[in-house]
Chains A and B, each alone.
Chain A
Amino acid sequence: MKTQRHILGILVEDQPGVMARVSGLFARRGFNINTITVGSTRDAGISKMIFSINGDDKLLEQVVKQVNKLVSVIKISELKPSDSIIKEIALIKISIPSENAKFDIIKCSEIYKAKISDLTHKSAILQLHGEPEKIDAFIHLVKRYGIKEVSRTGVTAMSRGICVLNNKN
């Protein structure tokens, strides 16, 4: 079976240790996690986690079933890339070796709609949001100037249209 990236939306009860329960389950069952994001939701007491994992369909099925068994988990559902908005934010600290490089970097940033959040003589912080592939491509592009540090949020996602991830359906 084909290994690919899967995005999972998980609604959990907002209690101490929930993150440990979910991520611990992933670890001990040998499911590899690419990214995790967690935040509050519309409803008080309920948090949403977005997991990005790599694996084939059989693995995905097990992940979903095992996570669903956790008492603190209200709902888990896959967010298919074709039907979802998937976004990530990245901060990229880059060195500026020369004046020419600075102009190149500014140009690249304009094309990718990256914002320059900080600028000194020797470095800049570029802020970029978008699909993770776009961020990958941008990092690849500016790598030659010397990347000092990268902070990525991991993906967050939401299904398109009127459908919502909630505990009612």
Chain B
Amino acid sequence: MKGTEAIIETMLKSGTDTTFGYPGGSVIPLFDEYLEYEGKIRNILVRHEQAAAHAADAYARVTGKPGVCIATSGPGSTNLVTGIMTAYMDSSPLIAFGGQVAVDLLGNDAFQEADMLGITMPITKHSFQIRNADEISETILKAYKIATGGRPGPVYIDLPKDPQIQETHKSIPKDVHIESYQPKTHPHTHQINKAAQMIMNAQRPIIVAGGGVVLANSAEELTSLAHFLKAPVTTTLMGKGSIDESDPLSLGMLGMHGRKIANYAVLNCDLMIAIGCRFSDRITGNLESFADNCKVIHIDIDPAEIGKNVSVDLPIVGDAKLSLLALLKALTENIAKDTSWYERIRELQKECNCDYNEKAKINPRKVLDEVLKVKKENDIIATGVGQHQMFSAHFLKINKPRTFISSGGAGTMGFGLPASIGAKTARPNVNVFDIDGDGSFQMNSQELATCAEENIKVNPIIISNHYLGMVRQWLEIYFGKRYSQVSLGKNPDFVKLAQAYGLDGTSVTKPDELKDALQNQQKSKDTYIINVEVEQESNILPMLPPGGHIKEAFGGCMVAPGCFFNKR
């Protein structure tokens, strides 16, 4: 068979029936082959390669299966870079194919040649270059194995033109063995028993759940552990959805823009059970003083994350699901738990139900409250990056894992629209909302064309404050309101923009118009934009100064909650 047949056959065999891509000289043979596989594999033709990477990334986040994107050599592949890095930072199993010039031209600065192996080296889990058609199937199978094995991550495959058109007689292997890649997934029993002992001795435990819990499909086990211990659970941005946020034990997100209740529980716990999180600076603030009053158990499949940022009292290397199951088993004997910690948390949670004033201008939170009214349990939320993203993290209660898709580690603006396209492709039967900012949305708004042409119905809700809101907030707080380069001015007319692509939308300026707008959006068969003109200078609070101690967090809804913790 031809090289291109081998590529598609191997992808199909690995469970891929959808790719996101954009053609160009060096991948013409591959896309030519797609015509022979009509009905078996579908390529979503995006309008910019970056969007292909984000869409494939979101596809992976929603399904847990690798997402595949394809671009041509040179600028096509370099346009994937932001998307690959986004997937890398959030441990998403992305497989990126980049075309490449013919093997005998490599290194000659040929037309549209770029050293993509070199460029992607720091932002991929691994990369390959296929130099011969005989290598195709084995390499692609290896890529799938590496992308999904252990801690997931992106794999880049450099695909020179000639192997695509060569003939190969090699059949697709059943399985591949990678001698040097054998990730450890089973936790050590001894460590589990020690952890169980520490947990039984703890008076005020807290669970910090990261993206690893979602990636390991262990939301159920996490919830069981929390309920068994009556331990509150706080999540990172990536961990959102690992516990039903309407569960009384759920405290929401911690960290720089974390909920006060979550940060104060972190501050006052005596044992932190951190699962599948990497303690980024957005979580810890000042590293020296983070978790300095408690013991820390850190469960992670990636040994390099343990002890990297936060000193750990008990490390457990293993898959989150397997570790949680082992821990639940080790904890079966019932311990009489003092419930005062749980009760204090519950008491504080009541204090935390802040409300916004219904002013003439719309508060961003109001938008999200209205979205929650129409959003069904399995519906998916994708976001851009900025204030709207943090508002979403705070106020959109998420009930299920893999239904909140956001660029966490990378903080990639423009992620929302292409991500919602990827999510909708993966889950055609649910509603996918793109909660976006006016700045973020404009970074990939060309993908409205993809929605229109490929009949992908997503629900973009643009929270417009005519500013790059997060930067404006920093300038207000830390730079004495010297607003430099943050005004977006008048903004394009987003409704007309939608119409230009043959879609429709509406613009909302008053709170009571939101409900109808959302209903019209739901009724529309096509992608329908809602542009919401919100208060221009609202801030997302609470906020922890960068590098600051959690105690220094300011703003937000609980009034001086620290005092609750000081009396016992």
Contacts and interface: CB of A to CB of B under 8 A. Distances in A.
Contact of A21 (B121, B129, B178, B179): B121
Contacts of B178: 71
A62 B181 contact: no
A68 B304 contact: yes
Interface in A7-66: 12-13, 16-17, 20-21, 24-25, 28, 58, 61-62, 65-66
A65 B181 contact: no
A66 B304 contact: yes
A71 B122 contact: no
A17 B307 contact: no
B146 interface: yes
Nearest to B306: A65
Interface in A51-100: 58, 61-62, 65-66, 68-74
A73 B180 contact: yes
B118 interface: yes
B42 to A, nearest CB: 30
A58 B304 CA distance: 11
Contact of A71 (B125, B129, B303): B125
B426 to A, nearest CB: 27
Contact of B121 (A20, A61, A65): A20
A74 B304 contact: no
B308 A62 contact: yes
Interface residues of A, number: 22
A17 B122 CA distance: 13
Interface in B101-132: 117-118, 121-122, 125-126, 129
Given A28-B122, A68-B304, A73-B180, 19 more contacts: A12-B180, A13-B179, A17-B117, A17-B121, A24-B121, A25-B122, A58-B307, A62-B304, A65-B304, A66-B304, A68-B303, A69-B304, A71-B125, A71-B126, A71-B178, A72-B126, A72-B180, A74-B179, A167-B180
30 contacts: A12-B180, A13-B179, A16-B129, A17-B117, A17-B121, A20-B118, A20-B121, A21-B121, A25-B122, A58-B307, A61-B307, A62-B304, A62-B308, A65-B303, A65-B308, A68-B303, A68-B304, A69-B302, A69-B304, A71-B125, A71-B126, A71-B146, A71-B178, A71-B180, A71-B181, A72-B126, A72-B180, A73-B180, A74-B179, A167-B179
Interface of B: 117-118, 121-122, 125-126, 129, 146, 178-181, 302-304, 307-308
